Amino acid sequence: MSSALTNLTIGDCRSLIEKREVTALSLAEEYYAHIENQDARIGAFLTLSKERALQQADRTDRMAVEGQLLPPLAGVPVAIKDVMSTRGVRTTAGSKSLATYIPAYDCTAVARLEAAGAVILGKTNCDEFAMGSSNENSAFGPVRNPRDRSRVPGGSSGGSAAAVAADMAVAALGSDTGGSIRQPASFCGVIGLMPTYGRVSRYGLIAFASSLDHIGPLTKTVKDAATILKTIAGRDPLDSTSADVRVPDYVAELEQPLGALKLGVAQEYFGEGLDDEVRHAVESAIDRLKSLGCEIVPLSLPHTAYAIPTYYIIATAEAASNLARYDGARYSFRAAGVKSLSEMYRRSRDQGFGAEVKRRIMLGTYALSAGYYEAYYLKAQKVRTLLARDFQEAFRKVDAIVTPTSPTAAFRLGEKSDDPLAMYLADIYTVTADLAGIPGISVPCGETQQKLPIGFQILGKHFDESTVLRIAHAYEQASQTAS
C-alpha cells in the first residue's frame, strides 16, 4: 500500500520541502522503501541509483536550510526508462547485449531534470531496445500492470508507467517511437505526453528508429507533465535534430480558457477493432469536452489504414541500421569461445539480442536490401509524407484531434506473444503521430467493467503542446469535479 508521502504530485513535493515539513532525504528514503515493498511483484525497476539520489536529495535539503530559492523539481523522486544514458549508472535498454554497460555521460533530458532538482531513483524496465507494445520483450523479465498483475502495463515504456501508477515515483521519463509513452499510460491509468519531434533532445537516448524516437514524461497529473516538459524541452547543441523553437511556459498556459476550440474526430479511429467499452469511454470524454465549450468537427485522415505497414518498414529499417553497432567488439555483450572475427559478430548478436529485436533487424535489413529498397523503404517514406499531409489538412480545420489511445484496455500477459501482427496492431492509433512528428497526450477517461484503465488521446499541431496540454488539463479538472 502507498503511504501519504508516496502519493504526491510535483507541486506537493516541492511545497513540503520548501516549508521544511519533510526533507528531500526522507522523501527519497520513503520511495525506496515503497519500491522494496512493491516492486518484486511488478518488476518496474532494473537498477536503483540510491547513492546518486541521496546525494541530490542532500543538496536540496542544504538549500532549503540555507533559505535558497529551490529549483522547480527540488527533491522530486523521478524514474528514468532504461534506454537513456545515466553517468555511472547501468543502462541496459532491457537487453542482454548491454547488461553490464555503464555510460560515462548523462542523457540531456536526465541532466536537465537533475539540474532542476529532481532526484533520480533508478532505471525502469522496458521492451528490449524499446521494441514492443507489452513490456514482455525485456531480457530481464516482464513488467506487470499494477492495476491487475496478470496483465501487461503496455510497452515499451511499461516500467515507467507502472512505477508512476504504483506510486514508486512521482514522475518518469519514457520514450515513444510508435506509441511507447501513450499506450502504457493508457493501460496503467496515468498521463503520458509525447512532445513534437525535435522539442526534446535525443542526445543520450539509445537509438531505436532515429526519425521516430521521442522522449517525454509519464505523470499523475497534466500539470506535472507540463512541468517536466518545460524542464527538458529546448534546443540542445548535442542533438542536431533538436529544434531551435521557443519553449512556452506550459504550466502558466494550462489555466487559459478553452474558448471555442475546434476538436476533430477522425472516423478512421472509431472503426473495426475498437473495443466497445473503450469506444464508449472515449465518446463520453468527447461529450465532456463539448460541454466545456469545444466544437466537435467530424473529419477524415484517409491514409490511416497504411500507418502500421509504413511504420513497421521505416522503424525496422532504422533499427537494423542503428543496432549494427552491437557487434561484440566494443561495449556490448561478447560471446565466449569464438575463433574468428565473423564468428564473434554472429554469435554475439545471436546470443545478445532477443527474438523480437532479431525479427525487426531481419525485416529492416530486407527492406533496405538491393532490389527491395525502392519497393519497400522508399515507398514507405512516400506514404509517410501522405500521412503527414493528412494531419496538415486536418489542422487547417481544427485545433486538435481526439482519438482512442489504444483499441483495447490492457491485455493478459502472453496473450499476443505468439502473434506479432496482433501485437503490432496494438499501436494502430498511436503510430500516426510518430510518423507525422506531431505531439500527443494520453489522458485517463474511465475504466472497463474489470476496472482496467482506459485512455483517450489528444493530438496537436507541431510545437503546439500548449493547446494539447490545455485541453487535457481542462478535461482532467472537469472529470475530478464531476467525480
How many CB atoms are located within 10 Å of the residue 353 CB?
24
Cell of 460: 496537436
DSSP codes joined into one string, 51-113? HHHHHHHHHHHHHHHTTPPPPTTTT-EEEEETTB-BTTB---TT-GGGTT---SS--HHHHHH
How many CB atoms are located within 10 Å of the residue 249 CB?
10
Phi first, then psi, for residue 398 (nearest 5°) are -135, 165
CA–CA distance, 387 with 371 (Å, rounded to integer): 25
Residues 6+ apart with CB under 8 A from 374: none
Residues involved in catalysis: 81, 156, 180
Q: Which residues pair with 73 in a beta bridge?
A: none
| Predicted pLDDT of residue 421 | 85
| Predicted pLDDT of residue 330 | 83
Please report the domains of the chain, with CATH numbers, ordered by start residue: 4-253 (3.90.1300.10), 262-300+386-459 (no CATH), 309-374 (no CATH)
Closest CA to 95 of 70, 53, 132: 132
CA–CA distance, 88 with 105 (Å, rounded to integer): 8
Q: pLDDT tens for residues 234-251? A: 999 999 999 999 999 999
| Predicted pLDDT of residue 80 | 98
Weakly modelled stretches of the chain, pLDDT under 70: 1-3, 483
CA–CA distance, 378 with 190 (Å, rounded to integer): 37
Residue 102 CB burial class (10 angstroms; 0-12, 13-18, ≥19): middle
| Predicted pLDDT of residue 331 | 82
Q: pLDDT tens for residues 151-210? A: 999 999 999 999 999 999 999 999 999 999 999 999 999 999 999 999 999 999 999 999
Cell of 375: 519497393
